[in-house]
Amino acid sequence: IFDESASRAIVGLSKENEEAFLNLAKEFGVKAYKLGVSTSQKHFKLDSIELSKAELDKLYFESFKEQIQ
């Protein structure tokens, strides 16, 4: 998934390919960081923040509508 500025990308890959990907990025002078992991759980967790998929959907789909009203 690419950011609108085209200078960032989020890459999903298997744990087995993580080290090779980070090494490849380094070889080409591209900064790469591990942001997190994907699981089968239906919630988002970042440090002490934990949101259900329904909460994330509401934030994503309704925030703009609320801002322009």
43 with 30, same domain: the answer is: no
Contact residues for 53 (Cβ-Cβ < 8 A; gap 6+): 42, 43, 44
Q: How confident is the model at residue 32 (pLDDT cuts 50, 70, 90)?
A: very high
Higher pLDDT, 21 or 4: 21
44 with 69, same domain: the answer is: yes
Could you read off the pLDDT of 36-55 as tens digits, one per residue?
888 888 888 888 999 998 99
CA torsion through residues 28, 18, 35, 60, sign: positive
Judge whether residue 4 has pLDDT over 70.
Answer: no
Given its phi and psi angles, is residue 11 left (phi above 0), alpha (psi -120 to 50 degrees) or beta? beta
Judge whether residue 67 has pLDDT over 80.
Answer: no
pTM of the model as a whole = 0.57
8 with 29, same domain: the answer is: yes
